[in-house]
Amino acid sequence: MLVLSGKEVATKVRSEVQQECTRFKQETGHTPCLAVVLVGDDPASATYVASKGKACEEMGFDHRDYRFPADITEDTVVQLVEQLNADPLVDGILVQLPLPAHIHEKRVTNSIRGDKDVDGLHPVNIGRLLLGDPSFVACTPAGVMKILDHYQIETAGKEVVVVGRSNIVGKPMAALMIQKGRDATVTVCHSRTADVGAHTRKADILVAALGKPLAITADMVKQGAVVIDVGINRVEDASRKRGYRLVGDVDYESVAPLCSAITPVPGGIGLMTIAMLMENTLLAAKMHV
């Protein structure tokens, strides 16, 4: 059983992006810049934003953080996004999700200019992805594909099952897998699927992105499958100093012995997400000079 190390692949991607960023700055005099907008005080979101800022600093990018209290108005957030759209020094804009319930997520993400949408959520980028045209691809699915490529895991002709249909993971994941050159046969399962296990047991490649800890169990996975665990969930654990531990959507201990390859949690796809965000931001910068 092969453990697909997100740390190994993310380190490689970040090194390549850092080298390319250095060359780009020398040739153009422009430093790629990522602007991140955080609304509210969700601890997980704050941690992600801090990690993105740290990655920018390590890789030679500029970054700007904009933090608002949870009761900020939707119009205020949209106005900031429009200001960032017009700022020639800002290449990528990311609004950290989830947003408070009174703010319409779609209005905010749709207000980001398509060529600054480094999270790959704008309708223009989703449409280009479905058409097979170059686009910004949501960072987590892009990271999954990067890991599969790194470990030379073939997708052509394979049965791929994606569990989860979110706009940020499940839907773009399915769209990537059916592109020419990837050529997988894709099934998408979701909360209304009658028997998820009946589908996952057929999967040559299983992508778990449902946001429920340890939901994929050994009886749902066929022998020799490649399992990609996108989930990052906190579960209480009194034996840990911080009172919790991180687990995926897959019950790793029971599933791993069945697999030909599997991503761990932590140390898997989560590390790829920020690496791909930096790659997207550099691509955006190249479009703006």
Per-residue pLDDT 10s for the chain (289 aa) are 999 999 999 999 999 999 999 999 999 999 999 999 999 988 888 888 999 999 999 999 999 999 999 999 999 999 999 999 999 999 999 999 999 999 999 999 999 999 999 999 999 999 999 999 999 999 999 999 999 999 999 999 999 999 999 999 999 999 999 999 999 999 999 999 999 999 999 999 999 999 999 999 999 999 999 999 999 888 888 888 888 888 999 999 999 999 999 999 999 999 999 999 999 999 999 999 9
- pTM for the structure as a whole: 0.95
Residue 41, pLDDT score? 87
DSSP line for 10-22: HHHHHHHHHHHHH
Residue 241, pLDDT score? 83
In Å, how far from its chain's centre is CA 209? 11
Nearest one of 55, 79, 78, 50 to 65, comparing CA atoms? 50
**Residue whose pair of structure tokens reads 């997207």 in the numeric block:** 280
Query: CA–CA separation, 33 vs 285, rounded Å?
Result: 8
Catalytic status, residue 241: no
Residue 109, pLDDT score? 95
DSSP line for 232-265: -EEEE-TTSTTSEEEE-SB-HHHHGGG-SEE--S
Rg from Cα positions in the chain: 19
Catalytic status, residue 52: yes
Q: Which of 52, 116, 158, 171 is catalytic?
A: 52
Q: Which of 91, 116, 117, 119 is catalytic?
A: 119
Residue 243, pLDDT score? 81
Q: Which helix (H) or strand (E) holds 59?
A: helix 43-59
Catalytic status, residue 18: no
Q: Which of 96, 117, 146, 171 is catalytic?
A: 96
Residue 214, pLDDT score? 96
**Residue whose pair of structure tokens reads 């600093």 in the numeric block:** 57
Nearest one of 207, 210, 209 to 186, comparing CA atoms? 207
Residue 237, pLDDT score? 81
Domains of the chain: 29-113 (3.40.50.10860), 139-270 (3.40.50.720)
Query: CA–CA separation, 18 vs 175, rounded Å?
Result: 29
